[in-house]
Structure 1
């Protein structure tokens, strides 16, 4: 039975195996980003704070890209998915951040939610096919490749870091604070 906190986030298992614990923390971080972006309109998702140009909408689009890049492109060596497959990443390395303002809140949320759904399937397939020790099928330029365990830990770190940004951005939009 999954325990859900007051913000609707699933608590990681207290005594799960390694894979369940890693996935539990990743889902908790994903749910934190969803909580921080919930109920906001385009102005809210496009708001900035201090000197940063970062927005909650940009975070959603960035994390959709990161989900796709790690769990599809790297782990399973699949071609980049739409809309990331047509981007000239060398010319516009911050494309997802720069273009989020032109997307509607529903488009941003759907892009991210769909990427997370596909990632969950890909991770499940990878766990069934090789476990946490399985190496990414697309190696890095030096020929090394991270394990699924490393990728999951990296994704937890990626969400945790950006959820700190989301805390500040959400507070600037409407004063909502919490964890």
Structure 2
């Protein structure tokens, strides 16, 4: 069972931000515990054919990649996000149904560990190398806050999808 806490080890800003991001990440993983391979790939919402547990975990993984590596570090976009188009804006969700959930979760955790180290090594005021849509440069603090919001919002989606595919609630 995934262990989670939203109580930071210290009360400084960095500890609070990183604890809440890890709490949101851990909640996403907890919502996937014990689901069958078949149910992890099921899309129970007729209007959202890409919204599967696999798709949502893949999306969370690639959203973090985008904000930390592409926007903050300024690296070139790679992986499924490089294939996004107006007609297929979320290829990471579409292709995820072909990947076992355990692998998606392992990749998400491995990547999360890399980003924990990145955040530990940078000041929160360091600006991203790429601007957001309106031309402004956000700082690392904003990236972390954005990922807390994004992950928490998708945890609600994971919760609904999980209940619809196998009846499990909570976590």
Q: TM-score range by the shorter chain?
A: 0.7 to 0.9
What TM-score comes out, normalization by structure 1 length? 0.84
Return the alpha-carbon distance in structure 2 between the equivalents of residues 164 and 41 of structure 1.
Answer: 20
Q: Secondary structure at the match of 2:83?
A: coil
Which residue of structure 2 lines up, in the alignment, with residue 159 of structure 1? 151
1:11-160 correspondence runs (5 A): 11-13=6-8, 16-51=11-46, 52-53=48-49, 54-81=51-78, 83-84=79-80, 87-90=82-85, 92-126=88-122, 131-140=123-132, 142-160=134-152
For 2:97 and 2:134, the matched residues in 1 are separated by 36
> Given the superposition, is the C-alpha separation of residues 141 and 167 from structure 1 closer, same or farther in structure 2, using an over 3 Å criterion?
closer
Preserved CA contact (<8 Å) 1:49 1:172: yes
Q: Would you say the 8 A contact 1:41–1:105 is kept in 2? A: no
Q: Which has the higher contact order (CA 8 A, sep 6+)?
A: 2
Q: TM-score, normalised by structure 2?
A: 0.87
Deviation at 1:174, TM superposition (A): 2.3
Distance 1:106 1:160 in 2: 21
Q: How far 1:7 moved relative to its partner?
A: 5.2
CA deviation profile, 1:46-98 (whole Å, cap 9, x unmatched): 122232221110011101101111111111112335x347x322363210111
Paired with 1:176 and 1:134, the residues of 2 have a C-alpha distance of: 41
Q: Is the 8 A contact 1:49 1:168 kept in 2?
A: no
User: 1:38 and 1:117 mapped to 2: Cα distance?
Assistant: 20
Structure 2 match to 1:3: none
Aligned length: 168
Within the candidate set 152, 158, 170, 2:162 is matched to 170
